[in-house]
Structure 1
């Protein structure tokens, strides 16, 4: 059974869908409404900036969230930000760290975020995608080959060294729970990152026969119990990442992939090669993924069994595209209330 917050969201979304006209959002510059400022608790501590660092807070109560920003997924990013703030116990204690491609478009992205969230604490970090672009091998879906999709590999280098722990989120998700709970995930036994694991998935399918037939490669997982995990939701200890040189390890696997074709699916396999079997656990409620549908046919999918704290439209279909086309999947109605896109007849709360 869905939590009450999701059920109420669903009812609002039904109204939203029927009064919102179809738009070709990708054909024009998107304009968004201003989000309300949320005051969700009377006892939130005031954060103090770290000395000589405008991007960091010297306070254990600060929650640092990292996301990528680009024009194609901006509508999803804004919905994700709104959902984080709306359900956070202390939204004023959240600092966002956005990574965007190095181009003139970053000015537009900054202006758009500031207009929709004028009170938001955020920084935008330019990502020179030339290095990543040279390492990308074609995958089963063109969207996975975008260089910005690989920016998560370089977060420890892009973000200031004073930021030591982040929650990384993709742009095609919404939270219906307090992100502070996710951020508090303990990274025990020296774990570098935490994420929900899915050990019932066929792990071998993420790598080619070339990989598994080569003992020097397949022994990578010796003495590990590797399971699939989705890199769209992660809690990362950046200090341990930097100390362990994990960016270099991921890049080395990508360089080998260019020579030998050892995997098929975008930016995920290098993370599996480096971290699978050595990550801290997170409850599955924090990544109800796959809601975008089947990667090949775009079929709608249902929620996984169990409680829900985060809904993730990973996969081929995105809710805003299907809603605009008047061909939504049932669960897209849960995303719609977080959509701040301006339309002529949008329902104002």
Structure 2
């Protein structure tokens, strides 16, 4: 696209990826069915650490909490699994130390086996765990939003990460499934979180925060006063660095749940799981350079029209919004920027006999 360029890392970033789906893990090696036997994913290439990386910690029994690892949490669900697979590949391909990236995949109990076998088949040496998230945790708290996809219980699992992830784990990078990285995940994971901050994410203070809440919220001083003494800015919850220890101590899951309970009584927002995060953390997060979340590439939540990149360098492209690149590519009506997602697509078409 004229005047716009994607910032890519050095050649060292191409030497990447890694593993720990061993015989002991019990993860099957065969290509797994994804909803039907004809829907399968290709096997990704294997990547390796560059010479200056610390030793890969996968031989350590406590490796899931190794301080030399970069820990990435994602929610994996069947409708978005194609996007998740592309995101995983992009992380590994652009990491200088891919063997030190540990993945924590949160999924619904009914899909856990399918997700585990599908990921293991395409990434035989990936270091990962699958964590079931019971929909009952949030089923009574979810209010209908402007887009049905936002009402999935897994969309709310990020609010429960500190209790879902191993208690020995103190820091994690949370990523949505509709994105790809073109830079080293370790750079994002190294984001500093000065005490007492819990979250780090790119902030967008030019966005109109008023529009994320209803008139019923702003007209009620008891509710809107939550922002008193704060300068809240919009941030996208699809890319976050989280201090899990501080979250646990502060019991922030309970604070988010309380706002969801308010929403059930008085409709104070229209947009899924994002507004409770804004209410709890707005004005209280560490800022991250915007290059780490070039969001909104999926268009708005109603029509999903094509969008251009924001000005500036790019380390992460995020197709938040209604339009997803794999769906537009399959329909033969892609947006120009969808061409930046397609090289990471592991989907094997039904006519591919390879």
Q: Establish whether TM, by shorter chain, passes 0.5.
A: yes
In the other structure, the counterpart of 1:304 is 310
Larger relative contact order (C-alpha < 8 A, sep ≥ 6)? 1
**Aligned residues of 2:213 and 2:269 also touching (Cα < 8 A):** yes
In the other structure, the counterpart of 2:27 is none
In the other structure, the counterpart of 1:44 is 53
**Are 1:3 and 2:18 an aligned pair?**
no
The 1-side partners of 2:304 and 2:44 are apart by: 31
Which residue of the other structure, out of 203, 208, 229, is the alignment partner of 2:209?
203
CA positional deviation for 1:256: 0.7
The 2-side partners of 1:256 and 1:153 are apart by: 16
**Aligned residues of 1:250 and 1:270 also touching (Cα < 8 A):** yes
The 2-side partners of 1:188 and 1:4 are apart by: 27
Q: Give matches, 1:225-264, under 5 Å.
A: 225-264=231-270
Structure 1: 5+ residue runs without aligned partners? 7-24
Distance 1:325 1:49, change over 3 A: closer
- Which stretch has the larger CA shift, 291-300 or 137-146? 291-300
- Which stretch has the larger CA shift, 160-169 or 33-42? 33-42
The 1-side partners of 2:91 and 2:60 are apart by: 27
CA positional deviation for 1:48: 3.7
CA positional deviation for 1:220: 0.2
Distance 1:224 1:39, change over 3 A: same
CA positional deviation for 1:56: 2.3
In the other structure, the counterpart of 2:185 is 179
Which residue of the other structure, out of 337, 341, 344, is the alignment partner of 1:335?
341
CA positional deviation for 1:137: 0.4
The 2-side partners of 1:345 and 1:216 are apart by: 59
The 2-side partners of 1:50 and 1:240 are apart by: 29
Q: Give matches, 1:128-143, under 5 Å.
A: 128-143=134-149
In the other structure, the counterpart of 1:88 is 95
Which residue of the other structure, out of 64, 73, 82, is the alignment partner of 1:55?
64
1:115-161 CA-to-partner distances (Å, cap 9, x unmatched) read 11111100000100112111000111000001110000000011111
**TM-score by structure 2 length?**
0.88
**Aligned residues of 1:294 and 1:300 also touching (Cα < 8 A):** no
CA positional deviation for 1:29: 5.5
In the other structure, the counterpart of 1:10 is none
Structure 2: 5+ residue runs without aligned partners? 10-33
In the other structure, the counterpart of 2:194 is 188
The 1-side partners of 2:226 and 2:55 are apart by: 46
**Aligned residues of 1:173 and 1:310 also touching (Cα < 8 A):** yes
In the other structure, the counterpart of 1:30 is 39
**TM-score by structure 1 length?**
0.90
In the other structure, the counterpart of 2:171 is 165
Q: Which runs of 4 or more aligned residues in structure 1 lie more than 6 Å from their structure 2 counterparts after TM superposition?
A: 25-28, 345-348
| Paired residue secondary structure (1:133) | coil
Which residue of the other structure, out of 121, 129, 134, is the alignment partner of 1:123?
129
CA positional deviation for 1:167: 0.2
CA positional deviation for 1:50: 9.9
CA positional deviation for 1:217: 0.8
The 2-side partners of 1:38 and 1:347 are apart by: 25
CA positional deviation for 1:30: 2.5
**Aligned residues of 2:41 and 2:346 also touching (Cα < 8 A):** yes
In the other structure, the counterpart of 1:15 is none
RMSD of aligned residue pairs (Cα, Å): 2.0
Which residue of the other structure, out of 72, 76, 83, is the alignment partner of 1:76?
83
